[in-house]
């Protein structure tokens, strides 16, 4: 059945002459229709928890550009919210959380976890699935424990997530407990997303690249392996993409170690190296520089062509190496899709 959807075919190991394309943060601020709905919907979290609005936002990039996949409109920080941590978003400065500090703060999270708080997300999925064109795959997601924990400890985004790194060195047992709580909550959350109707999952470990090797094993590899194993046991057949940003030299063999079907590649990864070093059974996703998309013109064409050329013959999903930047002109996104599909600019 999946074969009618190019994205699912590639995740199943098929190389396509024209790779399926979607973009991280394809639903977001570069779209005027997003800005319009966001302005009416109240806070960012209220928007995430309004199934009617969140479903419309999920569908907006499909309607405008005809991407091969829709990604659920939500955020990775709804999981700390469901764990009872106070989370809010300030325009301009990004996410804010009341930082987790003590052992009892951490213990309280497990006690207060309430998956039903995320029922609006499942209702969003239910609404979207009936409205997707037949060839468009539906992607659910969560943040990886390390990345989510890094915001829970710092209480905000930081340049290098140093507060969580320091916490993990100073109090590894408490940190391990937090990672465990997040892994368990993520398993429940992802299974509920599948049951509501997503067809594939992406796990975002956006801050994996700041960890030294032993910490990478403990806080990135182990929990991702646990989550993917549990989800695959409970719901076999749903492909999983691991976006381990900054995974660098860890990437060869990583998909096998994690049990993932595909790896998302960030902008720094050389596609020639990736194709050679990452075993052929792993589908690869990426990895256009979001700044090339912002720049447009001949530089964008050149970067697109290089990526298409390097991944030719390999199961490949065209994407960015990180999310769409808010200032990105709409015409550049149209240029990208036209060039990837060879339907002109
Ligand atoms: O990709 C999509 O279109 C689906 C929705 C989605 C959002 N966030 C919507 C969003 C997804 C998959 C995410 C993932 C996410 N959220 C990550 C991992 C991927 C990455 O970018 O590294 C992280 C680290 C977060 C946490 C987060 N949420 C930050 C740091 C910010 C502020 C920075 C920013 O880009 O605004 C957000 C806010 C956010 N999440 C917005 C959107 C559309 C902007 C909110 C607004 O409208 O003001």
CA-nearest residue, atom 5 of ligand 1: 73
The domain segmentation of the chain, as residue ranges, is 6-341
> In the prediction, which pLDDT does 1 show?
47
Confidence at residue 3, expressed as pLDDT on a 0 to 100 scale: 60
Query: Separation of 327 CA from ligand 1 center, angstroms?
Result: 15
Question: What whole-number distance in Å separates Cα of residue 31 and Cα of residue 328?
Answer: 9
Q: What CATH number was assigned to the domain covering residues 6-341?
A: 3.20.20.210
Give φ, ψ of 283 to 5 degrees. Answer: -70, 145
Phi, psi for residue 204 in degrees, rounded to 5: -95, 110
d(CA 65, CA 62): 5
Tell me the CA–centroid distance for residue 323 and ligand 1, in Å: 8
User: What are 275-321's pLDDT values in tens digits?
Assistant: 999 999 999 999 999 999 999 999 999 999 999 999 999 999 999 99
Instruction: Name the residue with the closest Cα to ligand 1, atom 33.
Output: 94
Asked if residue 172 has its Cβ within 6 Å of ligand 1, the reply is no
Helix (H, G, I), strand (E, B) or coil at 199: coil
**pLDDT(2) > 60:** no
Q: How far apart are CA 11 and CA 5, in angstroms?
A: 10
* Atom number in ligand 1 closest to CA 24: 1
Q: Contact 27/38 with Cβ under 8 angstroms?
A: no
Distance between Cα 1 and ligand 1 center (Å): 31
Tell me, using a 6 A CB cutoff, whether residue 25 lines ligand 1. yes
Cβ of 94 closer than 6 Å to ligand 1, yes or no, is: yes
Q: What is the pLDDT of residues 188-213, one digit of tens each?
A: 999 999 999 999 999 999 999 999 99
Q: How far is CA 6 from the centre of its chain?
A: 19
Q: pTM of whole model > 0.95?
A: yes
Phi, psi (degrees; rounded to nearest 5) at 138: -115, 120
Ligand 1 centroid – CA 77 distance (Å): 9
User: What amino acid positions are annotated as catalytic residues?
Assistant: 25, 29, 38, 75, 151
Percentage of the chain with pLDDT > 90? 96
Residue 318, strand partner residues: 21, 286
Number of separate helices (H) and strands (E) present in the chain = 17, 9
- CB-ligand 1 contact for 316 (6 Å cutoff): no
Atom of ligand 1 nearest to the CA of 74: 5
- Segment 90-140, tens digit of pLDDT: 887 899 999 999 999 999 999 999 999 999 999 999 999 999 999 999 999
What gap in Å lies between CA 322 and CA 209, rounded to an integer?
13
Q: Which of 24, 26, 28, 159 to mutate to test the pocket of ligand 1 (most atoms within 8 A of CB)?
A: 28
């Amino acid at each position: 059945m999946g074969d009618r959807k190019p994205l699912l075919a590639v995740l199943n190991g098929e190389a396509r002459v024209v790779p399926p394309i979607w973009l991280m943060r394809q639903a977001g601020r570069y779209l005027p229709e997003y800005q319009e709905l966001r302005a009416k919907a109240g806070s960012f979290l209220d928007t995430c928890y309004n199934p009617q609005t969140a479903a419309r936002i999920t569908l907006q990039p499909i309607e405008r550009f005809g991407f091969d996949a829709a990604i659920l409109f939500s955020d990775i920080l709804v999981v700390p919210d469901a764990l009872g941590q106070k989370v809010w978003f300030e325009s301009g400065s990004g996410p804010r959380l009341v930082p987790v500090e003590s052992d009892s703060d951490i213990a309280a999270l497990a006690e207060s976890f309430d998956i039903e708080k995320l029922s609006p997300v499942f209702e969003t999925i239910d609404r979207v699935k009936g409205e997707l064109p037949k060839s468009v795959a539906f992607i659910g997601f969560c943040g990886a424990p390390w990345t989510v924990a890094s915001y829970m400890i710092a209480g905000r985004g930081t340049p290098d997530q140093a507060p969580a790194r320091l916490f993990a060195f100073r109090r590894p047992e408490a940190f391990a407990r937090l990672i465990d709580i997040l892994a368990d909550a993520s398993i429940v959350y992802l299974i509920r997303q599948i049951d509501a109707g997503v067809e594939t999952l992406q796990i975002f470990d956006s801050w994996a690249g700041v960890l030294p090797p032993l910490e990478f094993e403990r806080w990135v590899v182990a929990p991702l392996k646990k989550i993917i194993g549990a989800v695959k046991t409970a719901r076999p057949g749903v492909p999983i993409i691991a976006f381990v940003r900054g995974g660098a030299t860890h990437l060869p063999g990583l998909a096998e170690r994690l049990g993932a079907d595909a790896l998302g590649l960030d902008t720094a990864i050389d596609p020639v190296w990736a194709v050679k070093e990452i075993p052929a059974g792993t589908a690869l996703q990426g990895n256009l520089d979001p700044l090339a998309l912002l720049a447009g013109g001949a530089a964008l064409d050149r970067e697109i062509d290089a990526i298409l050329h390097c991944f030719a013959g390999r199961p490949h999903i065209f994407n960015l190496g990180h999310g769409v930047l808010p200032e990105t002109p709409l015409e550049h996104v149209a240029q990208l899709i036209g060039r990837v599909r060879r339907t002109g600019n």
